[in-house]
Structure 1
Amino acid sequence: MASVNQFLAGAVAIASILIPWLLFMVGRSKKSNKVWAQLDVVGISPGDGALSWSFAIAKSVISMQETMREGYEKFSKANKPFALPTMWIGGAVLVLPPSKLGLLNKPRNELSSFNALLENAQFQYLMSDKDVWGNTIHFDIVRHHLREKDMSSLTKIMFEEWQGAFQTYWGDSRDGRVIKAWDSMVRIIARASLRIMVGLPGCRDEDYLEQSRLYANAVLVDACLINCLPPGMRLVVGPLIALRAKYYERKLLTILIPLVEERLFQYRHEKGNQRDSQGDVIKWLIEVSENHGPEQLTAKKIAGRILALTSMFVFAIGWVFVHVVLDIHCSPSSNEIVSTLIAECQKVSAQYQGLSSKEAIDKLYCLDSAVRESMRLNDVMVHLLPLDIISGQPINIGEGIQISAESGLRTVFPAQMVHHDRDIYQNPERFDAFRFSREHETSSNEQPTTGKRELVTTVSTSFLPFGYGRHACPGRWFVAYMVKQATAYALLNYDVEVIKSPGKRASLLNFMLPPQKAELHVTRWQQENFQD
């Protein structure tokens, strides 16, 4: 990613030029917040002044992962909070130890992640309609239509897209072909995701699919680049970085607005049980918008909300799928893993006459374990679950330190370090595909384990990709079922060889860079193995 490397160099140079501004910000922050005097700060020696703070903030663009690891080993494992310098807020975030994850069960009117997530996503630069990104009624559809019980109907719909998607992007050559792992697999996921978003035939429109992929990528990557800028520069430089995302936004709105207008017309003329039939994101957004006033029930507004969900539906799910496939086939135990997973998929497919049903996917325990293990290894971000205290009583975070709404502190949790902690996971840097299913496997002479399975959708204090407590992702079942179904299709229908490994993972501030260098050689098996 040459462009990213160039940006890194530029960001560090810009940060160096703006040292006086950073000195001012740090000095002002420390004067106005006595809590900092009570906190350990990682990467800065006790007694260091504003200049050291400024360099630590600038350096965070390229050293966040290493600095967080140092803080986790030194402070988090001793159950202490610590301050982490970061360019994201032009100061420091307060990293809480995992023992404080219970705070995520507090009411949202006391602890909120809303402003932090908006600032992390930088929607104010990347999306044109402030009402769309500031009034997030579109997330109602995730809470009400992507639940576990909704998977019974959605898995059947997603199933219909895999054959066409894989043939388009992986091909059906018995001689094999070389493909870019990241681009091809994100496109495959986009096809199924967009089926749920806009239905047929829109999801199979290659122009719409490609523009959606490019837009999702631009929004995520450009947000990260904006976060790497000193906050004082974002008002000037942010809109320039956002030009790419705005370009794709305009192209997608041109495609989506006529589609939504047609669906609005159909909705207004539907009767009774027609409105109760299984829908897609467009229909669900129409229903949600209808309850929030006529200004929300316009084609442009609804199309904008579809775009607001596109990054989650395309980039985020694609991220999981790509890493699962790479982890399975890059492992030194790849042959054993693949043969075990294929055997499981074939057995379940025979039992349920295919893998189109929720009941069938629920029985893929070894595959579920492989997905969960891959998610453990491949966090999207170094720290997760940002929180702002907005009301309520002061919170004791340990070491005699209390924080309140007046403190103005933003807290985060060291999720990536938890997932790589040797005291929690044996050989944490190793992809152990059956880590979460092994104890439930039995021989003919053994009794099955009575403990509850840790499935990919199971959140815990040691598994945080989907959040925790009241902040657990309500759409995690949608991600899990889609990724498992897609991975099962790949296993049953393709021989996969990694010919160019993804290489060592790197972070850009808090964001882990995707494995864009990885290449695969994929060969279609002689017969279709995924049909009902």
Structure 2
Amino acid sequence: MASNLLLAVLFLAAAYLIAQWRTFRKLPASLPRVRSKDANISWSTRWAYLTDCQKLFSEAYESFARNGKTCVVPGMGFKDEVHLSAKHTQWIASQPDAVLSPEEGFREIDKGDWNTGSADYIHDPWQSAVIRKDMARVLEILADAVDDELKYAVPEHLNVATQEDVDVLETMRWIVAQISSRFTVGLPLCRNKDYLYQSLAFADLAILNSGLLIYTPSLLKPMVGFLITLPTRYRRWKIKQYVKPLYIERVQRLRQNGLNTKYDNEPTDNLQLMLRYALEKVPQKVNLTAVSDRVCLSNLASFHQTGVTVSHALINIAASNPEFNTAEAIRQEIADVLRANGGVFNKAAAAKMIHTDSVMKESLRTHPFGTRAMIRKVVSPEGVKTPDGHVIPEGATTSVLSWHVHQDPDLYENPSKFDPFRFSRQRIAGTEKRGVDQSGLAFVSTGPTYLPFGHGKHACPGRFLVDMEIKMILHHVLQVYDIELLPEHNGVRPDTPWVTEAMMPPTGVKLRFTRRSVDKN
């Protein structure tokens, strides 16, 4: 029995490798391979991708990308991927979508058509177009809604009477889910525990499914994809039942009143913006399933990335607090800005919180939610020629090693150290010295030396929302609680492990939350 099982496993492994073999040889031999003098990447190098990707990527960066050179490195699903230099960031951003496609690049990773049942949501992402279309107004809507919802969400999910050790990521996931849902679907659904649970479960399953499907041979994808996405489809169905009454009532009222006028007590959440946009621009695609699935996709982006980012920020604040008094600096700055702004937390106020902004930017520099950026797929039949003279063929995936850019000592002094006010010091110095360029120093800025959000016209549109949300969360949490690392960490921030190329979120990491006395507020 055991021998038969072993033979079956070996047979499946052999079949898998044979099915993937062609992907090893797609790229031209002229492209240099990391750890290789010819076009063949060794099995030991492929194994290194799985077991010590951080070191492998470091070699690729130091030997090639740092010097403006293109190289080939093993990637997810045993595919070979092209890593471009960050010095070519502007060139990447300038390429037409018909040459380098970000949509197809992300399809290679997130497998959105499997998780949502339709590639149309990726090819025509009008749920994101809504945000891009009217960002300034969206931010003001978000500010009012999120600031109000945090008054309920923080006491609900961070209910510490005196002192308690709190699982940071798990707590922040629920807080982020609730406040994001206040903006996405509004009251009262944003406080429905089962809706939030189903939405968080969908996000977790979608990420898990993506990883599994990346390593599934194309021949087996229909069967494997159907089976592993059954739980995801169930979560989508559950979410659709919650969205259904909102969809029916709102679409009916919008059609009755017309799209050129607002009706009495019209909601201002993102679902309403999506419905208005879709009824005007793509009315043939307006149906309950499509709208509900796009809500799921919006939740996937906002829940996961914001939850991980604010968790890392809180851990970094706690770890740096003894040296920099980070938490008190944030409290004092936000209090001063809000006092001068009449107590209103809006876009203008958030822009003045430069120390808080610096803490967030530094946290994302040291602990991003991805180690690569500017992910693209070559879709031009003629391929594309890189600035350093290499022709990359159609079908190849390209990216930039962003985490290693952020750790480059030529770009950042003492790059491995979390220095919370690294960027605010530069902004203050720039204000004092006329002519000093301060562009690129804000959390939401993008450029060749700071790439968590990508760069160019396809830079993440949600970064402005994330900026506002995290500043508000820090305000509502830190005005109530002091935070510190647990004694077991000896004042040193817990490591963030790599699993292949992914820097894992701080799962299970706890901080000690102590309620502040009234006279401290």
Give TM-score, length-normalised by structure 2: 0.88
Q: 1:202 aligns with which of 170, 189, 214?
A: 189
CA deviations over 1:384-416 (Å, ceiling 9, x no partner): 2222233397643255422354xx322111111
Whether the 8 Å CA contact 1:178–1:522 is kept in 2: the answer is: yes
Task: Name the SS of the counterpart of 1:441 in structure 2.
Answer: helix
Task: Name the SS of the counterpart of 1:261 in structure 2.
Answer: helix
Give unpaired runs (5+ residues) of structure 1: 1-12
Whether the 8 Å CA contact 1:171–1:524 is kept in 2: the answer is: no
> What residue identity is the alignment partner of 2:445?
T
- Further displaced range: 329-338 or 303-312: 329-338
Taking a change above 3 Å as real, the CA distance of residues 183 and 426 of structure 1, as seen in their structure-2 partners, is: same
Q: 1:26 aligns with which of 21, 32, 41?
A: 21
Distance 1:138 1:263 in 2: 17
Task: Give the alignment of 1:25-104 within 5 angstroms.
Answer: 25-26=20-21, 29-30=24-25, 33=27, 35=28, 37-43=29-35, 45-47=36-38, 49=40, 52-53=42-43, 56-57=45-46, 59-88=48-77, 90-102=78-90, 103-104=92-93
Residue in 2 that maps onto 1:10: none
Q: CA deviation at 1:159?
A: 0.7
Give unpaired runs (5+ residues) of structure 2: 1-7
Q: 2:414 aligns with which of 403, 412, 427?
A: 427
- Counterpart check, 1:309 vs 2:304: no
> What residue identity is the alignment partner of 2:209?
D
Taking a change above 3 Å as real, the CA distance of residues 14 and 233 of structure 1, as seen in their structure-2 partners, is: farther
- Counterpart check, 1:150 vs 2:141: no
- Counterpart check, 1:361 vs 2:341: no
Whether the 8 Å CA contact 2:89–2:447 is kept in 1: the answer is: no
CA deviations over 1:475-532 (Å, ceiling 9, x no partner): 21111111111112212121112327673222333332211121122233334999xx
Task: Give the alignment of 1:61-460 within 5 angstroms.
Answer: 61-88=50-77, 90-102=78-90, 103-145=92-134, 147-148=135-136, 150-171=138-159, 173=161, 175-270=162-257, 273-274=261-262, 279-331=268-320, 333=322, 336-391=325-380, 395-397=384-386, 400-405=389-394, 408-441=395-428, 450-452=436-438, 454-460=441-447
Distance 1:41 1:268 in 2: 58
CA deviations over 1:77-118 (Å, ceiling 9, x no partner): 222111011233x32011011111122122223321111211
> What residue identity is the alignment partner of 1:498?
L
Q: 2:517 aligns with which of 523, 526, 529?
A: 526
Task: Name the SS of the counterpart of 1:291 in structure 2.
Answer: helix
Taking a change above 3 Å as real, the CA distance of residues 298 and 231 of structure 1, as seen in their structure-2 partners, is: closer
Whether the 8 Å CA contact 2:443–2:467 is kept in 1: the answer is: yes
Whether the 8 Å CA contact 1:224–1:508 is kept in 2: the answer is: no
Task: Name the SS of the counterpart of 1:421 in structure 2.
Answer: coil
- Further displaced range: 385-394 or 366-375: 385-394
Distance 1:14 1:133 in 2: 35
Whether the 8 Å CA contact 2:377–2:398 is kept in 1: the answer is: yes
Taking a change above 3 Å as real, the CA distance of residues 227 and 507 of structure 1, as seen in their structure-2 partners, is: farther
Taking a change above 3 Å as real, the CA distance of residues 16 and 188 of structure 1, as seen in their structure-2 partners, is: farther
Whether the 8 Å CA contact 1:260–1:299 is kept in 2: the answer is: yes
Taking a change above 3 Å as real, the CA distance of residues 380 and 223 of structure 1, as seen in their structure-2 partners, is: same
Taking a change above 3 Å as real, the CA distance of residues 75 and 294 of structure 1, as seen in their structure-2 partners, is: closer
> What residue identity is the alignment partner of 1:94?
V
> What residue identity is the alignment partner of 1:124?
D
Task: Name the SS of the counterpart of 2:477 in structure 1.
Answer: helix
Taking a change above 3 Å as real, the CA distance of residues 274 and 400 of structure 1, as seen in their structure-2 partners, is: closer
CA deviations over 1:221-276 (Å, ceiling 9, x no partner): 33123324455554443433333323322221222222222222232333654259
Q: CA deviation at 1:426?
A: 1.0
Q: CA deviation at 1:378?
A: 1.4
Distance 2:476 2:321 in 1: 22
Whether the 8 Å CA contact 1:498–1:518 is kept in 2: the answer is: no
> What residue identity is the alignment partner of 2:157?
Y
Task: Name the SS of the counterpart of 2:485 in structure 1.
Answer: strand
Distance 2:96 2:40 in 1: 37
> What residue identity is the alignment partner of 2:369?
V
- Further displaced range: 409-418 or 105-114: 105-114
Whether the 8 Å CA contact 1:16–1:58 is kept in 2: the answer is: no
CA deviations over 1:18-65 (Å, ceiling 9, x no partner): 2464356435752x54x2x1122124x335857x34x54455334333
Distance 1:357 1:328 in 2: 23
Whether the 8 Å CA contact 1:148–1:477 is kept in 2: the answer is: no
Distance 2:520 2:205 in 1: 36
> What residue identity is the alignment partner of 1:505?
T
Q: 1:497 aligns with which of 484, 499, 506?
A: 484
Whether the 8 Å CA contact 2:167–2:508 is kept in 1: the answer is: yes
Residue in 1 that maps onto 2:504: 513
Residue in 2 that maps onto 1:472: 459
Taking a change above 3 Å as real, the CA distance of residues 392 and 23 of structure 1, as seen in their structure-2 partners, is: closer
Give TM-score, length-normalised by structure 1: 0.86
Whether the 8 Å CA contact 1:381–1:512 is kept in 2: the answer is: yes
Whether the 8 Å CA contact 2:131–2:138 is kept in 1: the answer is: no
Task: Name the SS of the counterpart of 2:194 in structure 1.
Answer: helix
> What residue identity is the alignment partner of 2:21?
V
Q: CA deviation at 1:211?
A: 1.7
Q: Percent identity?
A: 24
Residue in 2 that maps onto 1:9: none
Task: Name the SS of the counterpart of 2:447 in structure 1.
Answer: coil
Distance 1:449 1:318 in 2: 37
Distance 1:365 1:28 in 2: 47
